[in-house]
A = this chain, B = another copy of it.
Amino acid sequence: MHVVITGGAGFLGQKLARKLLSGATIIGPAGKPAEVSRLTLFDVVAPAADIARDKRVRAVTGDIGDKATVDGLVAGEAASVFHLAAVVSAGAEADFDLGVRVNLDGTRHVLEACRRLPRPPRVVFTSSVAVYGGDMPKVIQDDTPMTPQTSYGAQKAMGEFMINDMSRKGFIDGRALRLPTIVVRPGKPNKAASTWASSIIREPLQGDAVECPVDPSTEMYVLSPRRMVESFLHAHDLPAERFGFSRALFLPGLTIPVTAMLDGLKKAGGQAAVDKVRFVPDANIRRIVAGWPMRFNPARAKSLGFKADDNFDQIVQGFVEDDLRRNVA
């Protein structure tokens, strides 16, 4: 079967691609588990060489805000689409028009292209817990309204309504997942206000010093890349009727304070690793992070079979196995 991943050169897109290329099966057009025979990866840059050279892979670079580009991307025999491409929170806040172009128009282009396929494809859409903000209950429930206080969150919320309505109309068979902060993110720090949550684990384990801009008591709601990729496949394969009136849900995660993250770091890298973390408060980042929801009751997602990581140690271990050793090797 032919699968399309937008944002296919991002760290989650590449992990999902590797999983699919390694023989993982997902429900195919015939309603039975199938392997990927063709994988289209779309992004603004090319994926890693090991992915790009796979004979099944077609890597396409371009602008998702350009309708014709997307029409050419999702066409013919495409059976399933994972729509991960996005301008993230800080980017969409700094450049409103770029955020609208990529997060809103881009999503619409993908869904419109899907609608023209001979069979309504399964579409897995990455939303975010950034749809919550402002006046929130202490614990986010399944029926907590979306009240985004960032352009990124607003654009994701709009994308969810598109996914829901076009699924209801039978144009697509969509699923929208509100992602926790994905930790440990491999690679370099980015400009996201949450980037430290990965950095304080990744950098010490790579032997580098790192600054933590928030208090040790600060909590984050996190999910590992490994469990996230499993969640993508699980969301894809769930029967449509399990979703009821809404295709959108937030995923189970772990609510964990920085102190517990450092405990996990110590188990993997010893005191020497922990000693590489220096607390250097950043008022701006503390303020942004303080506005994020951190406690969730993901009853619906759990009832649909989605799972959080068992503990933070497991998250660190996944990073060591999947990313650190791969880079070292």
Stretch at the interface among A149-157, A215-223, A258-266, A317-325: A149-157
**Which B residues touch A151, using CB under 8 A?**
165, 169
- Say whether B169 contacts A165, CB under 8 Å: no
- Say whether A165 contacts B146, CB under 8 Å: no
**Which B residues touch A96, using CB under 8 A?**
169, 171
- Say whether B147 contacts A154, CB under 8 Å: no
**Which B residues touch A155, using CB under 8 A?**
165
Residue of B nearest to A105 (CB): B108
Interface of A is mostly: loop
Most buried by B among A155, A158, A161, A169: A161
Residue of B nearest to A134 (CB): B245
Indicate whether A148 reaches chain B with its CB closer than 8 angstroms. Answer: yes
- Say whether A134 contacts B244, CB under 8 Å: yes
**Which B residues touch A50, using CB under 8 A?**
none
**Which B residues touch A145, using CB under 8 A?**
143-146
**Which B residues touch A98, using CB under 8 A?**
none
**Which B residues touch A148, using CB under 8 A?**
161, 164-165
Indicate whether A91 reaches chain B with its CB closer than 8 angstroms. Answer: no
- Say whether B134 contacts A149, CB under 8 Å: no
Chain A 60-86: CB-based contact to B (< 8 A → 1; otherwise 0) = 000000000000000000000000000
Most buried by B among A133, A146, A155, A157: A157
A161-B156 Cα distance, complex, nearest whole Å: 10
A-B residue pairs, 5 tightest by C-beta: A134-B245, A154-B165, A145-B145, A158-B158, A154-B161
